[in-house]
Amino acid sequence: MNKDQVLKAYESAREQYAQLGVDTDDAINKLDQIKISLHCWQTDDVGGFETPDAELGGGGIQVTGNYPGKARSIGQVRQDLEKVMSLLPGKQRLNLHAIYGDFKGEKVDRDQIELKHFQSWIDWAKKEKTGIDFNPTCFSHPYADDGFTLSSKNEKYRRFWIEHTKRTRKIAAEMGKQLGTPSVNNIWIPDGSKDIPVDRNKHRELLKQSLDEIFEEKYPIEYLKDAVESKLFGIGSEAMVVGSHEFYMGYAVKNNKLLTLDNGHFHPTEQVGDKISAVLQFVDEILLHVTRGVRWDSDHVVIFNDEIQYIAQEIVRADLLGRVNIGLDYFDGSLNRIGAYVIGVRAAQLAFLNALLEPTAKLRIFENGGMYFERLALLEVLKTKPFGAVYNYYCQINNVPVAEDYILEIQQYEKDVLSKR
Ligand code: RNT
Ligand code: ZN
């Protein structure tokens, strides 16, 4: 886009927002502080780099599509992430799953992972001046094939997953230490059953015991933040998920852990935007997995929809940015995977920007005065204010492609790099 046009449109937008008492420069500065964690698993359809190759499975999560250009080595994942970051304004973090370790062709089972397998990622993050978040990988493994991991009645398997998860905490704490920014280690397990179980209770007892043991070791909060993620159902776990919302909400509150809210993990009429101020009365921080649920799938590419706007509005209106960690979580193999990231991050940034451009104080006055027509009318008017012009300007001052210009860059990358893989 033409630079002067972007600037002119911004100046006009600045005036329009100023009339509402909103400072656009201030909103841009605040947006620039928001870090979004890029989930490494969109680069290669949650494959990872274990030897021998593990197939995504045993987890109630599924990737469809075989668009060419999928990353097939750690080098390619890094190359793709660097490209993604070069197309985004602001700073991002990296969200790494344990199966993405640098195993150098060696067979390292999950209960054997060590810091050395992740040191090259830490060094990469140092070079990129970014932080890393981490995740145990409790799926895509023979010991997860029967659908249970940390809540398994098979003691050998359960112990294996406990050891794996303990190790991820240790590694994540070291990542946080070396990078000078705490690593959020998020525990999500697929455990559940396809058909009606008669013993839900035993699995939940086991999961609680496993978590208690995993969290026995204490690490400084400046290095590690522990998070637990619930789910309503998955493919093959329709009748029960052991780690349900109630389970983890209770666990997080009682044990002062972060609660992970993945907006694809609730009933479609429930809104994560509504849950944020509820759970933050009882836990210090949350982790968001920003995604887009479509019918039975919880993992479509994030777009600028109502759901994501509610989430951003809630956080900004209640001034909770300091207590919310934000990560993306989706996997789509049916389109350019690099493009999928840029669409998702830009949509999330746009949602936060739009929320930061809201004249909330004015809306609150209406609300407190019972002036509900005025409140609704102003909210409607805000929908057509030129926040896109503000975002374009934010991209321009960060020297990244403005608006549709990023499509061309991704097409070029596909031609030069992805198509040759
Ligand atoms: C699955 C959870 C979980 C995973 C990642 C890959 O339903 O959302 O967060 O998507 O761990
Ligand atoms: Zn998730």
How many domains, in total, are found in the chain? Answer: 1
Active site (annotated) includes residue 177 = no
Judge whether 409 lies within some domain. no
| pLDDT for residue 357 | 98
Judge whether 219 lies within some domain. yes
Task: Given the residues 70, 208, 225, 231, select the one marked as catalytic.
Answer: 231
Report d(CA 318, CA 305) in Å as an integer.
Answer: 20
Active site (annotated) includes residue 274 = no
Which whole number is the average pLDDT over 354-383? Answer: 98
Report d(CA 130, CA 128) in Å as an integer.
Answer: 5
Does 255 have pLDDT greater than 80? yes
Q: Which atom of ligand 1 is nearest to the CA of 46?
A: 6
Q: For the chain, report the end-to-end CA distance as a whole number of angstroms.
A: 31
Give the residue, by CA position, lying nearest to ligand 1 atom 2: 188
Query: pLDDT tens digit string along 267-286?
Result: 999 999 999 999 999 999 99
Report d(CA 26, CA 28) in Å as an integer.
Answer: 5
**Residues 31/414, Cβ–Cβ less than 8 Å:** no
Residues with CB under 6 A from ligand 1: 41, 46, 61, 135, 188, 229, 231, 262, 289, 298, 329
Could you tell me the two tokens for 122? Answer: 């830490």
Q: Which atom of ligand 1 is nearest to the CA of 264?
A: 8
Judge whether 418 lies within some domain. no
Does 60 have pLDDT greater than 80? no
Active site (annotated) includes residue 415 = no
30 burial (CB, 10 Å; 0-12 / 13-18 / 19+) is middle
Q: Which of 39, 329, 331 to mutate to test the pocket of ligand 1 (most atoms within 8 A of CB)?
A: 329
H or E element, residue 133: strand 132-135
C-alpha 46 – ligand 1 centre gap (Å): 10
Q: Which ligand is nearest to the CA of 40?
A: 1
Task: Quote the strand ranges of 264-386, DSSP E.
Answer: 286-290, 292-294, 297-300, 324-328
Active site (annotated) includes residue 50 = no
Which whole number is the average pLDDT over 129-133? Answer: 98
Active site (annotated) includes residue 39 = no
Active site (annotated) includes residue 329 = yes
| pLDDT for residue 53 | 79
| pLDDT for residue 62 | 84
| pLDDT for residue 213 | 99
**Residues 34/353, Cβ–Cβ less than 8 Å:** no
Which residue range forms the structural domain that includes residue 316?
36-359
**Residues 46/140, Cβ–Cβ less than 8 Å:** yes
Instruction: Give the SS3 label for residue 154.
Output: coil
Q: Which atom of ligand 1 is nearest to the CA of 260?
A: 9
| pLDDT for residue 55 | 72
C-alpha 38 – ligand 1 centre gap (Å): 13
Q: Which amino acid is at 95?
A: N
Q: Which ligand is nearest to the CA of 261?
A: 2
Which whole number is the average pLDDT over 1-10? Answer: 96
16 burial (CB, 10 Å; 0-12 / 13-18 / 19+) is middle
Report d(CA 239, CA 232) in Å as an integer.
Answer: 9
**Domain containing residue 281: CATH number:** 3.20.20.150
Active site (annotated) includes residue 127 = no
Judge whether 230 lies within some domain. yes
| pLDDT for residue 51 | 85
| pLDDT for residue 365 | 98
Going by C-alpha positions, the residue among 332, 394, 416, 304 that lies closest to residue 88 is 394
C-alpha 262 – ligand 2 centre gap (Å): 5
Query: pLDDT tens digit string along 166-220?
Result: 999 999 999 999 999 999 999 999 999 999 999 999 999 999 999 999 999 999 9
CB atoms within 10 A of CB 421: 11
Q: Which ligand is nearest to the CA of 190?
A: 1
Distances (CA, A) of 14 to 204, 341, 381: 53, 29, 16
Could you tell me the two tokens for 132? Answer: 């890393």
Judge whether 41 lies within some domain. yes
| pLDDT for residue 58 | 63
Judge whether 29 lies within some domain. no
Could you tell me the two tokens for 79? Answer: 């190359």
| pLDDT for residue 409 | 98
C-alpha 180 – ligand 1 centre gap (Å): 26
| pLDDT for residue 61 | 80
List residues bridging with 39 in a β-sheet.
Answer: 95
Q: What is the mean pLDDT of the chain?
A: 97
Which whole number is the average pLDDT over 1-26? Answer: 97
| pLDDT for residue 39 | 98
Does 395 have pLDDT greater than 90? yes
